[in-house]
Structure 1
């Protein structure tokens, strides 16, 4: 049984959520920007009401009497765009930072924003809606609305990267730090989630969750019953009589719940001490915000509709690297997270009962090298095979043998020279040996052949012929290649497993590609800004 399942069963028996982390693993800004809203059923681009702001007690509320009217919609969203620009203007101060460049051997000084904006929404559906609003606004001619769309597009793109804290959801904040006794899909309801973590006095989690489920959802899609009973009459009154008071009262009432619950989630996570690596991950967000601001000011910000070939490969590489780094950092920062790896047998905890710091082995070159030995007594059997790599901080070890209560290990790195023998744990020291060593930085060098999910479906152009050394260097390379490709005999159609290459077209007949074909069209929700420099952790 995994520790997550055990924690859910424990929460079920206690009728209360149990902690899944003892550290805060998300960065929380001192002044985040919160947003909660509703749109018409089935029409995400038609907002009905949005409550937003960075002050808990004085949020702003915008309503649209006729959401299908573009003029009214743009007028309301224009106010949101101006307020967003005011909030973002607080994060323009930069500081010089020394960074490694190239292979890491050279240092350079670059300017980075000292802080970055943060948007927090009630649930995942609202986070997705933010991306759709950004896509909708950045295609408009109004410069204020277009700038707001570009910023919302960048904010939504950071949501795709593990460990980023630019766009957070209250439900994600809570599920990362607590386990409830309900189904994981039910954890997507913010009210039910809070009911399990902090049920009202005199009620258990089940009753509190049922009461929370009876309330209107946190948006942006609304409840059909609320639409028919409250929203529809309010919209009709505003359209026919021009009276928007009923609509504003209904919007203020229905959005008060998710606004209050989102702040409650923030307060709960802020009570936890931050993890050690949280600041490093936030630094990556700061660098990305700095580069995004530079592109906005230069007028070069763009969003790719679809990543192709090399950008897709590098984006997948970054996702894999960030996912592995986030798992490692959370486990090293938090004993409760590390306990999951102890429960599955990937890590081992125990007490050092014996050590041999003078042990040596003969390496492949025939030279005797220092390889200290450690014996650790464990409370549970460690069933990993010999040769398993484990780490104690920066000291790397390999398992030599394991019994029911003892593990024999040989140090292979970090403390294999006499000046560094002091890094070894002393006898009677309690240790936790984990499969997480120092973070490795793997370059995203392109392989000989891209993985199939990132390959382009377009046919490859005919290869250019190799040029001899005695060719005239004044010959235009493109013309020579085109002529050779045109005059070359086509491949045999009957060749097994081969598709005939398309004939090359002379340069004079090639027409310029349209903007749509170049991949510069407006991106769907969650698209990655082109040229985004996110930095590493």
Structure 2
């Protein structure tokens, strides 16, 4: 039985979510930009309303009295664009520098977009970003100059929705990384019920009936309250145009405010966990990516392809594979509860050091395992030490060991093959009586990009098709 299955059964038995992790594996900005919103069903490009901002008590309410009117939508979205651009402007002066320099100086300033779920992230970043970034403030149909800038920022966030990045936080996915509920994974997309499982199991049934956190509204709410708000808008738009949006503003605020509060409650839960050590390194990479985007925006060269080239797709898929593997590795190394899953699966060795022999050509030790370790002789395992404080030393010292046999008493014998073979590094080795976990996760691979500059004709697209 896998650890995830065991945790799910435990949650069902206790009627309460159980922790999947003991640390927070995402970076939490001190001042995130939170967005919840609805769009017309069947038309993602027609937003109904948004609640957004950085102030928990006073969100900005953006409404479109008649979402089917494109001109009116753009006029109202200009208010959202000004809020988003104003937030991003605080971080636009982040200097563009090398990754090495960023790791040395540890910058903490970068924007963070927080949304309720993956569907909202896809709609806001991908769809709305693409809709807005191609608009022009001049020409036959000029728009507010802030709209294409906001579209560029949203498109950047869309491209950074990759494993390990904290630039965009879809909260239902982040909570699922840290807690296991007793409901189906598809139901974890409901932020209200997911929070109820974690904080108030008695309110799960009520939370399941709550309005969705977006981006598609509830059909009953749309038929009942949203339709009445549109009728009120048409009745007021001619006689009292300054008051025409008031009915829709109240309707949208009442519908989205519970989701807004739920987003902040979810952030509070994540803040209650101690931060994972390597989350800071991943945030450094996020800040580096943002600095490059900020430089392109400042120079007026924030361009995005409507359709990526095949070579770009291949490189993007390679990047996703690498980031997925890196995130799995780093979460396990940072979190003993996640590492326990690898121990239970027989991928990592957990046990007590019985003997340490430093007399041979290479140090060797014997470990009494806590659980069966079925891997064959010759398996490489790694002992990760705390972050090095020496400027000249490695950030995370690693000792590599190789299994060489099993004694009749069940002790596993390992030889040290790298990282602590020299006598001046024997202090890195665990001592007899010490509890250890040797993992299958070695140093991160930094393979150069082997893809060609241009695709060969066997892989190129046929222009005639």
Common fold by TM > 0.5: yes
Q: In structure 2, what is the equivalent of residue 192 of structure 1?
A: 193
TM-fit CA distance, 1:149: 0.3
For structure 2, which runs of at least 5 residues remain unmatched after alignment? 138-144, 238-243, 385-397
Does residue 455 in structure 1 map to residue 459 in structure 2? yes
How many residues align? The count is 437
CA–CA distance in structure 2, aligned partners of residues 446 and 391 of structure 1: 30
TM-fit CA distance, 1:179: 0.5
1:96 and 1:110 in contact (8 A); partners too: no
Of 203, 208, 213 in structure 1, the residue corresponding to residue 203 of structure 2 is 208
Does residue 400 in structure 1 map to residue 401 in structure 2? no
Does residue 133 in structure 1 map to residue 134 in structure 2? no
TM-fit CA distance, 1:411: 1.0
How big is the alpha-carbon RMSD for the aligned residues of Structure 1 and Structure 2?
Answer: 2.5
Find the structure with the greater CA-based Rg: 1
CA deviations over 1:332-364 (Å, ceiling 9, x no partner): 1111111110110101111111122222xxxxx
CA–CA distance in structure 2, aligned partners of residues 322 and 43 of structure 1: 33
1:95 and 1:112 in contact (8 A); partners too: no
TM-score normalised by L of structure 2: 0.89
TM-fit CA distance, 1:274: 0.4
TM-fit CA distance, 1:440: 2.5
Of 363, 371, 375 in structure 2, the residue corresponding to residue 372 of structure 1 is 363
CA–CA distance in structure 1, aligned partners of residues 28 and 375 of structure 2: 38
Cα separation, partners in 2 of 1:313 and 1:111, compared to 1, 3 Å: farther
CA–CA distance in structure 1, aligned partners of residues 229 and 177 of structure 2: 38
Cα separation, partners in 2 of 1:342 and 1:113, compared to 1, 3 Å: closer
Q: In structure 1, what is the equivalent of residue 112 of structure 2?
A: 118
- SS of equivalent residue, structure 1 residue 273: coil
CA–CA distance in structure 2, aligned partners of residues 303 and 225 of structure 1: 38
CA–CA distance in structure 1, aligned partners of residues 273 and 97 of structure 2: 29
Cα separation, partners in 2 of 1:448 and 1:32, compared to 1, 3 Å: closer
CA–CA distance in structure 2, aligned partners of residues 18 and 318 of structure 1: 32
- SS of equivalent residue, structure 2 residue 294: helix
CA deviations over 1:52-92 (Å, ceiling 9, x no partner): 00000011001111111122111100111111111111113
Residues 86-485 of structure 1: matches in 2 within 5 Å?
86-94=86-94, 99=99, 115-130=109-124, 131-142=126-137, 143-159=145-161, 161-199=162-200, 205=201, 207-242=202-237, 243-359=244-360, 370-393=361-384, 394-402=398-406, 405-446=410-451, 455-458=459-462
Cα separation, partners in 2 of 1:227 and 1:284, compared to 1, 3 Å: same
1:112 and 1:290 in contact (8 A); partners too: no
CA–CA distance in structure 1, aligned partners of residues 436 and 452 of structure 2: 40
CA–CA distance in structure 1, aligned partners of residues 99 and 248 of structure 2: 53
TM-fit CA distance, 1:381: 1.7
CA–CA distance in structure 1, aligned partners of residues 425 and 62 of structure 2: 63
Cα separation, partners in 2 of 1:287 and 1:239, compared to 1, 3 Å: same
CA deviations over 1:299-330 (Å, ceiling 9, x no partner): 21111233334322222221121111111111
1:34 and 1:54 in contact (8 A); partners too: yes
Farther-moved stretch of structure 1 (208-217 vs 12-21): 208-217
CA–CA distance in structure 2, aligned partners of residues 41 and 416 of structure 1: 64
1:24 and 1:275 in contact (8 A); partners too: yes
- SS of equivalent residue, structure 1 residue 49: strand
Farther-moved stretch of structure 1 (432-441 vs 302-311): 302-311
TM-fit CA distance, 1:420: 1.7
TM-score normalised by L of structure 1: 0.77
For structure 1, which runs of at least 5 residues remain unmatched after alignment? 101-106, 200-204, 360-369, 460-501, 503-516, 518-537
